[in-house]
């Protein structure tokens, strides 16, 4: 798989790593960006690094003043992963690593992602949105019950009949920030009363899948070795991802047929959202593959899964970074 173009073409480019940002995932982004910068700097690339704030002009001036040719965006979470920064880069008309602004915006919303997967007949856990839940719970005595309200009521009733353990999560967030598991609806409602009543952000209540967790890194249209994730915590949360050395990662031995099937599903999930370049598809397996979410700017830290999978394939960290940069697009 490595490499698709001569390295000489990359050695002549001025590369800018943008990192940091302004989301809850800032600290992880700083680690990811620094790691990529260090490996390129140590390999004699002409590389720059920018701790980008929520300021389009800051990016524009830095790029123009340094005659940047390629941007590697490693800002995780809101701003960097939801299409905003991508739209700024697109206005500069230079190459960058990863999905474009439209697909980034689409895939950053877990609700939109799951709806698109459903349209493509891809299996993902049942869910309802926080808006639907609030509509379901509201008192209708003094209001006309619309057709939409009836449809929402039916959807919620079926959901709660079929599911008794739930995952409460923000629709637009990463690194497992804000996720909590409940096995009692009343406990969820009481615990999240303020968030639900505030209703400024959308959340989803997703059916809990009692199965093993996996992730499939994707690089330039190829699915890398699949990683199985095991943690002693309740689930693979922020601490398990970045701080806990007891989290276990392994490369499961699937049958050839099963591995091909899983990789086909993951690649279809990635492409159904028009993602490009690189990313990670997270999923559970009980009896079937249950797609959970897509990460279009995965971590590149010492704990991160994409470098781990690439290493298992025989790629060094530098080779992984070069592969991504060579395939940067406008």
Mean pLDDT by 10-residue block, N- to C-terminus, for the chain (330 residues)? 62 96 93 97 97 98 98 96 98 98 97 97 96 80 67 92 92 72 84 68 91 96 96 58 71 96 98 98 95 96 91 95 95
Residue 316: active-site member: no
Query: Which tens digit of pLDDT belongs to each residue from 128-142?
Result: 998 898 888 876 644
Query: pTM, whole model, 2 decimals?
Result: 0.90
CATH number at residue 268: 3.30.470.20
Residue written as token pair 């959970």: 292
Residue 90: active-site member: no
CATH number at residue 29: 3.40.50.20
Do 59 and 152 reside in the same domain of the chain?
no
Q: Domain range for residue 220?
A: 107-123+210-318
Do 111 and 245 reside in the same domain of the chain?
yes
Domain count along the chain? 3
| Ramachandran angles phi, psi of 196, nearest 5° | -65, -40
Do 223 and 313 reside in the same domain of the chain?
yes
Residue 153: active-site member: no
Residue 244: active-site member: no
Query: What residues pair up with 37 in beta bridges, in sequence order?
Result: none
- Specify the pLDDT at position 315: 95
- Specify the pLDDT at position 3: 46
Do 224 and 288 reside in the same domain of the chain?
yes
Residue 293: active-site member: yes
Q: In this structure, are residues 123 and 261 in contact, taking their beta carbons and an 8 Å threshold?
A: no
Catalytic pick among 290, 295, 304, 309: 295
**What distance lies between CA 226 and its chain's CA centroid?**
16
Do 62 and 182 reside in the same domain of the chain?
no
Residue 239, H or E segment:
helix 238-242
Residue 280: active-site member: yes
Residue 1 domain flag: no
**Domain limit, last residue, from 207, 226, 245:** 207
Catalytic pick among 25, 81, 95, 322: 25
Catalytic pick among 29, 33, 299, 327: 299
Crossing angle for the helix pair 317-326 and 305-313, to the nearest 10 degrees:
100
Do 164 and 21 reside in the same domain of the chain?
no
Catalytic pick among 95, 206, 282, 323: 282
Catalytic pick among 293, 304, 309, 327: 293
Catalytic pick among 242, 272, 277, 279: 242
Residue 2: active-site member: no
Catalytic pick among 33, 280, 309, 322: 280
Task: State the Cα–Cα distance between residues 186 and 159, nearest whole angstrom.
Answer: 15
Residue 327 domain flag: no
Question: What are the residue ranges of helices labelled H in 97-204?
Answer: 101-108, 110-119, 130-137, 147-162, 185-191, 193-198
Q: In this structure, are residues 259 and 225 in contact, taking their beta carbons and an 8 Å threshold?
A: no
Do 34 and 63 reside in the same domain of the chain?
yes
For strand 70-73 and strand 46-52, is the pairing parallel, antiparallel, or unpaired?
unpaired
Residue 282: active-site member: yes
């Amino acid at each position: 798989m490595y490499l698709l173009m001569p390295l000489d073409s990359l050695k002549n480019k001025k590369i800018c790593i943008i990192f940091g940002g302004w989301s809850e995932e800032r600290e992880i982004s700083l680690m990811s960006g620094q790691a990529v910068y260090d490996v390129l700097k140590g390999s004699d690339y002409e590389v720059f690094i920018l701790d980008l704030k929520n300021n389009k002009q800051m990016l524009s001036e830095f790029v123009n003043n340094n005659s940047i040719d390629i941007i590697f965006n490693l800002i995780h979470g809101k701003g960097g992963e939801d299409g905003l920064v991508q739209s700024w880069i697109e206005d500069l008309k230079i190459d960058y690593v990863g999905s474009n602004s439209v697909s980034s915006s689409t895939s950053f919303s877990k609700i939109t992602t799951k709806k698109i997967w459903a349209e493509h007949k891809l299996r993902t856990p049942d869910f309802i949105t926080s808006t639907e839940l609030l509509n379901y719970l509201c008192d209708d005595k003094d209001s006309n019950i619309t057709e939409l309200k009836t449809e929402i009521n039916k959807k919620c009733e079926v959901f709660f009949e079929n599911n008794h353990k739930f995952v409460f999560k923000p629709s637009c967030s990463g690194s497992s920030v804000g996720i909590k598991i409940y096995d009692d609806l009343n406990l969820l409602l009481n615990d999240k009363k303020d968030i639900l009543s505030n209703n400024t952000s959308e959340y989803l209540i997703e059916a809990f899948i009692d199965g093993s967790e996996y992730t499939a890194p994707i690089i330039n249209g190829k699915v890398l070795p699949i990683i199985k994730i095991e943690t002693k915590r309740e689930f693979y949360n922020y601490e398990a991802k970045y701080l806990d050395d007891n989290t276990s990662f392994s490369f499961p031995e699937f049958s050839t047929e099963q591995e091909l099937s899983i990789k086909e599903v993951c690649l279809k999930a990635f492409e159904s959202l028009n993602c490009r370049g690189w990313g990670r598809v997270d999923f559970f397996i009980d009896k079937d593959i249950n797609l959970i979410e897509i990460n279009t700017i995965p971590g590149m830290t010492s704990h991160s899964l994409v470098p781990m999978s690439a290493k298992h394939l025989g790629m060094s960290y530098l080779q992984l970074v070069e592969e991504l940069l060579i395939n940067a697009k406008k």
